[in-house]
Structure 1
Amino acid sequence: MAAELDLRPFGEPSKAVKLTQKAPSIVSKASSVATSLPWSLIGAAESPETWSDVVQLFYASLRTGDDKVASSCLVLLTKRFGADDHKVTGLRGMYQEALAADNDALKTILADYNKILASDPMNIPIRKRRISLLKTLAGPQDAISQLLEFTEAFPTDVEAWSELSELYYSQGLLPQAIFSLEEVLLHIPNAWNVHARLGELEYLNGLAAAEGSEAAVKSLTQAIQRFSRSIELCHDYLRGYYGLKLAVTKLLSTRPQSKQIELPPAAKLQRLDELATSKLKAIIQDRAATAVEATKAELIAAQELVDRSGP
């Protein structure tokens, strides 16, 4: 089953704002059932969605700066699952980081994380918060080092691999960024946005290589395959069609450095370009009237790309 992996814990800004508008109903619903075991067995009925909604509201509230609602969510989760629950400790740490006034306050939080891990080294949320905090205090290199240790111990953690990929990308280490994101797809092969992100990284890797070299052609071809897979999984995925058109256009204009370097057939590339162009036009037309501020920029960029290709 195809799915989109949200690689950002706070989600998109527009979604965060929309969710915080539902805060009263989410908090009220959770408040009516928030109690710990064993009393939760005989209390008001609850569902997994109840607490998932509270967690998502917590993230959204931090993103929008609503500390009061975030605090209410944390109180509810603590009451339901206990102060020592690993998930709750991680959320509490995130809340404290958000409220920290300066680096000294963050260093105090880091020391608290070290104390927690000294007594409970398997507290995964705290380990992740510690790495995130190190990125802020010590820079990306320390965070990369810690994430490498983490992924060696927990090789199936897609969130860690995703973060590692973005850190490598921020340092210009594209091959390592690509490898890390490929690890994500080993565990969630149908995440269309991850395929698209891999396509973007492959495309950039192709641009970084010498024009017309075997490495450039290989990376651009891989980018086309990744973008194609993303739109195969999600037929109206603008980001996938946008990337596909970029990569195809670049490959069509590429002149191999030697006869030994084979390009995909030009006729097939041209058909892919026509497909991407027509789909982009359709998506722009369909979404133009209802686009929120966060997606308008994407539509404008897509329109500019279509305009560059001519009528």
Structure 2
Amino acid sequence: MATSLLVPPTNTTPEQSLALSNFSTTFFASQKGWRLPYPLSLFLNTESQEKWTTYENIFLATLRTGDHAAAYLCLEELTDRFGKGNEHIIALQGMYQEATAKDTAELEEVMRRYDELLREDPALFSVRKRRAALLKSVGRPVDAIGDLVSLVDASPTDAEAWAELADLYAEQGSFEQAVFCLEEVVLVTPNAWNMHARLAELIYMGAQKLEGGEQLKALSESMRRFCRSIELCDGYLRGYVGLKVTTGQLLQTLEGGKKSQLTVSDPTTGDLAPPSLASVKKLNALATAKLGEIVRRGSAGEKGWDGYSPVELQAARQVLDRDTQKIER
């Protein structure tokens, strides 16, 4: 439990978030104790970054599980420590108000509060993000996109805002804009293997709307992005699943395509020629073998292979089941 206390609940499974939420009572009890009068209390200062990270993570976990009373206690402690005027605390307070809102009217009140704060200080980027998230949750994605566009104009290196903007564009079917946004993300975080894989997924989805040489070009780029993700993280399951799916479609295209389509490239714009059939076959075989190993060893719970969720393993197994190629063990 000590390790998971420092992992943001957004990166944990529902079961782990529930366990963290249930741990809140024990954690609160551990923080209560007798105190010496000031200034002797300075000698017993328990201040640490880990302590407040734990408070925030429990706050997020309890909100996620609906334990609003525990979330309020965490928020009070954080507010007492960092002050009501702290930008991050203001955003957490807004998050709490959103989670505890009983109807649309109360959500609108939260929105008005965000508007007031931004009129007073337009540079409250955390509040801007909360406002965009609220707009998205109430079914106003176009307004949320507008807010995030303004945010990235003011803060072009905010990878989180670019990533959220990419998701919103993708939900609207605007894959070209979504790809552009994620390209900005990988410029800011070039070693984020999950972002390379997500970019590859968006390129792949956009390729389904294309035909001929343009589709081949997009599929090739998607494959390269998936390759980059597993180059950065050798055990990244999502990257191998994407590589398997992308190379599978590329094999069909390359084996049945016309020669004029298979040589589409434009060196003046930096376009690369499509990969050779032999290279795609090798990558497909690599993805198949690696997925088979991950599914086999992950399902068995072998040490060092137990970090995959059952849902991920099931998805990988389904991808393998659709393929008739025999895995060499």
**TM-score scaled by length of structure 2:** 0.83
- The reply to whether residue 302 of structure 1 matches residue 295 of structure 2 is no
**SS where residue 183 of structure 2 aligns?**
helix
CA distance in 2, matches of 1:32, 1:116: 37
The offset of 1:42, in angstroms, is 5.3
Q: Which amino acid aligns with 1:59?
A: L
Change over 3 Å in CA distance of 1:32–1:7 after alignment to 2: closer
Whether 2:194 is the aligned partner of 1:193: answer: yes
Quote the Cα distance in structure 2 between the aligned partners of 1:20 and 1:66: 8
Query: How far apart are residue 252 of structure 1 and its match?
Result: 0.5
Q: Distance in 1 between matches of 2:217 and 2:140?
A: 32
Instruction: Mark the CA change 1:33 to 1:216 in structure 2 (over 3 Å): closer, same or farther.
Output: farther
Counterpart residue number, 2:295? 284
Structure 1 residues 76-225: aligned runs within 5 Å: 76-137=77-138, 139-210=140-211, 213-225=212-224
Task: Report Cα offsets for 1:180-204 as digits up to 9, x if no partner.
Answer: 1111111111111111111111111
Alpha-carbon offset, residue 224 of structure 1: 0.9
CA distance in structure 2 between the aligned counterparts of 1:52 and 1:83, rounded to whole angstroms:
17
Distance 1:303 1:107 in 2: 44
**Shift of residue 41, structure 1, vs aligned partner:** 6.2
2:94/2:130 contact within 8 Å kept: yes
State how far apart, in whole Å, the 1-side matches of 2:135 and 2:44 are. Answer: 42
Change (3 A) 1:154 1:241: same
Larger radius of gyration: 2
Q: Deviations over 1:60-111 (max 9, x none)?
A: 1111111122111101101110111111110000000001011111111111
More deviation in 12-21 or 179-188? 12-21
The verdict on how the C-alpha distance between 1:9 and 1:123 changes in structure 2, with shifts beyond 3 A counting, is farther
Give SS of 1:253's match.
Answer: helix
SS at match of 2:281: helix
Partner of 1:58: 59
Q: Residues 10 and 59 of structure 1 are in contact (CA less than 8 Å); yes or no, is this contact kept in structure 2? A: no
Distance 1:278 1:39, change over 3 A: farther
Give how far 1:135 is off. Answer: 2.4
The CA deviation string for residues 146-170 of structure 1, in whole angstroms up to 9 with x for no partner, is 1111110011111111110000000
Per-residue CA distance 1:12-33 (angstroms, 9 max, x = gap): 4233223324323543455569
Structure 1 window deviating more from structure 2 (164-173 vs 41-50): it is 41-50
CA distance in 2, matches of 1:256, 1:300: 33
Q: Offset of 1:136 from its aligned partner?
A: 3.1
Equivalent residue for 1:238? 237
Alpha-carbon distance in structure 2 between the residues aligned to 1:30 and 1:103: 37
Query: What is the identity percentage for the equivalent residue pairs of Structure 1 and Structure 2?
Result: 40
Q: Which residue of 2 aligns with 1:250?
A: 249
Aligned partners of 2:59 and 2:70 also within 8 Å: yes
Q: What residue ranges of structure 1 are gaps of 5+ in the alignment?
A: 1-5
Please tell me the residue identity of whatever aligns with 2:63. Answer: L
In the superposition, relative to structure 1, how do residues 85 and 177 fare at CA in structure 2: closer, same or farther (>3 Å)? same
SS of alignment partner, residue 15 of structure 1: helix
Whole-Å separation in 2 of the counterparts to 1:222 and 1:235: 19
Q: CA distance change for structure 1 residues 231 and 18 in 2, over 3 Å: closer, same or farther? A: farther
Report if the CA contact (8 A) 2:152-2:162 is conserved: yes
- RMSD of aligned Cα (Å): 2.6
> What's the TM-score, normalizing by structure 1?
0.88
Structure 1 runs of 4+ off > 6 angstroms? 38-41
Residue identity matched to 1:74? L
Partners of 2:174 and 2:108 lie apart in 1 by: 28
Shift in CA distance, 52/30, structure 1 to aligned 2, threshold 3 Å = farther
> Unmatched 5+ residue regions in structure 2?
1-6, 264-273
Q: Specify which of 252, 256, 264 is matched with residue 275 of structure 2.
A: 264
CA gap of 1:32–1:53, structure 2 versus 1, over 3 A, is: farther
C-alpha distance 32-182 of structure 1, shift in aligned 2 (>3 A): farther
Higher-RCO chain (CA-CA 8 Å, sequence separation at least 6): 1
Match of 2:286 in 1: 275
SS in 1 for 2:132: helix
